Amino acid sequence: MENLLFPALILLLFIPIFLSSRRQRRAAQEMQALQAALVSGDVVITTSGLRGTVVDASYEETVDLEVADGVVTTWVRAAVREKVSPVVEGDAAESSEHSAVTESTDGAPGSRT
């Protein structure tokens, strides 16, 4: 019985390490696939939190992002953290109306109920 205790303990410690490395490897592959699939018009967020629209993704290592009207910056593809859906004008108006209603009905000081 004592002969099996040490190998069983090693096995119990190795299983979570193995599963964690697989999860990290899968996440890294998904991130690389996202960065390789960038096309003009995609709205992305960089690792530093900057939101921009892809203007030119024809280079292998870099991507050009428009961060304001007429302001285009060049970023390394690895700096792109996620792709987000662009906000449509009608959706933005609805979400701001919803947040205004929520703020006025939450019972915060200074609000009328």
Report pLDDT digits (tens) over 46-71.
999 999 999 998 888 999 999 999 99
- List pLDDT tens digits, range 10-38: 888 888 888 889 999 999 999 999 999 99
Q: Is the dihedral of CA 76, 60, 57, 92 positive or negative?
A: negative
Domain ranges of the chain: 2-87
Q: Which numeric CATH code is attached to 2-87?
A: 2.30.30
Q: Which is nearest to 51 in space by CA: 19, 74, 84? A: 84
Q: Above 70 in pLDDT, residue 99?
A: no
